Amino acid sequence: MSAQRRRFEWLRSRGYLELGEGAVLARVPEPLPPNLLFDRVAGMLLGVAIGDALGNPSESMLPAERRRRFGEIRDYAIPQDSIVPRGRPSDDAQLTFRTVEGFVEDGQLDPDSLLRRFAGRRIRGIGSAVRAALQRYQQGVPWYEVGEPSAGNGALMRIAPALLLHLRRPSADLWCDTAVLAHLTHRDPASTASCIAFVDILWELLRCARTPDPMWWVERFVSTAAGLETRSYRPRGGPFVDRFEGPLSRFVEWAVPSAWRQRKPVLEACNGWYSGAYLLETVPSVLYILMWYADDPEEAVVRAVNDTRDNDTVAAIVGAAVGALHGAAAFPERWREGLPGEVDGGDPGRVHELVERVRAFVPAG
């Protein structure tokens, strides 16, 4: 048994990690193409930074309010009344790239090293669950006990780097590392399940030669997450209140295809399930945008930025997906060239430096 599997099983046996016996946990990921382009991996990571930077200045606004103030946002430059500097990162990109930094410097997933990186530097727009977890860590609580029991999106938004350590030698340890990485801040089965399901999607996108069919996004997510979930959840607002109680994957399976059959525009569908930071809102929004626009990286990110409430996180997750599918070169040049690439502030170009260092993880073609 590998060290990653032993750590994972120890967490489960002691009750720290709540997760079902999903078949994915024993599944070895399909081999990546021998000619996997570095541009696809770079696109996955840059997609997080680009989506976060585009969405951050108008984060948490209702889409109608955002449009009244800014019109349609298609670039980093927005009106002068925004208090957020052009292209500045928030927690989504900061925690993602501190994870990348930890992997390239440590060569492994070291929970204490990552939590020190998370807690040791300022995080802009930090969510309540992440803040609580890092406060506990700074108070001396062991890494495996600090996570907050929250079904928020704060683990999902930073999960893309989980697959980096496994690109050369795929194994079922990928799911163990993904679960541990999610667990650092969020001790919730829907959070862990959604992280594993999204990493599975990213892995498949790196293998794809064409854009998946629209229903693939829902089917792939549900088939992975359903066996891992152990709790029921309820929508917190909108027309779905009092109409659903169950696992996240069942809500996705119920709500998203229904919106698709009616061909609801992204804005209308996302308003229906609210599109905030709760996983019953974030995950349907991400999947629905990808159903519509996965073949158009620019429009996918633009719709995430404009048509959702927690728009920087939704755009970061969508950006990772379309970046993995199409590569960094598929993003508009103005986004790639205009991205300051800061991680902590005052370190322009750090994102690009870390992306370049990831090249060592990519199999040589």
Question: Residue 7 — φ and ψ, nearest 5°?
Answer: -65, -45
Assess whether pLDDT exceeds 90 at residue 181. Answer: yes
The type of residue at 335 is W
CB distance 90 to 124 below 8 Å? yes
- CA separation for the pair 116, 98 (Å, rounded): 10
Sign of CA dihedral 232, 290, 221, 28: negative
Residue from 182, 216, 214, 215 nearest 196 by CA: 182
Question: Residue 344 — φ and ψ, nearest 5°?
Answer: -105, -5
- Give the residue, 83 or 158, on which the prediction is more confident: 158
CB distance 222 to 255 below 8 Å? no
Kindly report, residue by residue over 225-255, the tens digit of the pLDDT.
999 999 999 999 878 888 999 999 999 999 9
32-72+86-361 CATH fold: ADP-ribosylglycohydrolase fold (1.10.4080)
Is residue 153 classed as helix, strand or coil in its secondary structure?
Answer: coil
Question: Which residue ranges make up each domain of the chain?
Answer: 32-72+86-361
CB distance 98 to 92 below 8 Å? no
Task: Summarize the confidence of residues 180-184 as an average pLDDT.
Answer: 99
Residue from 265, 318, 308, 310 nearest 287 by CA: 318
Kindly report, residue by residue over 77-124, the tens digit of the pLDDT.
665 555 667 888 999 999 999 999 999 999 999 999 999 999 999 999
The type of residue at 229 is E
**In the chain, where does DSSP find H-type helix?**
3-13, 38-55, 63-70, 91-106, 111-120, 128-138, 173-183, 189-207, 214-225, 248-261, 266-273, 279-293, 297-307, 311-326, 333-338, 350-357
Question: Residue 339 — φ and ψ, nearest 5°?
Answer: -75, 115
What percent of the chain is modeled with pLDDT above 90? 91
CB atoms within 10 A of CB 65: 12
1 to 125, 165, 193, 196: CA distances (angstroms): 39, 18, 22, 20
| Tokens read off for 215 | 């229903």
pLDDT at 86: 81
pLDDT at 219: 99
Angle formed by the axes of helices 279-293 and 189-207, nearest 10°: 20
Cα 234–57–104 angle (5° rounding)?
A: 85
- CA separation for the pair 263, 338 (Å, rounded): 34
Kindly report, residue by residue over 321-363, the tens digit of the pLDDT.
999 999 999 999 999 999 999 999 889 999 999 999 999 888 7
CB distance 136 to 146 below 8 Å? yes
- CA separation for the pair 101, 126 (Å, rounded): 19
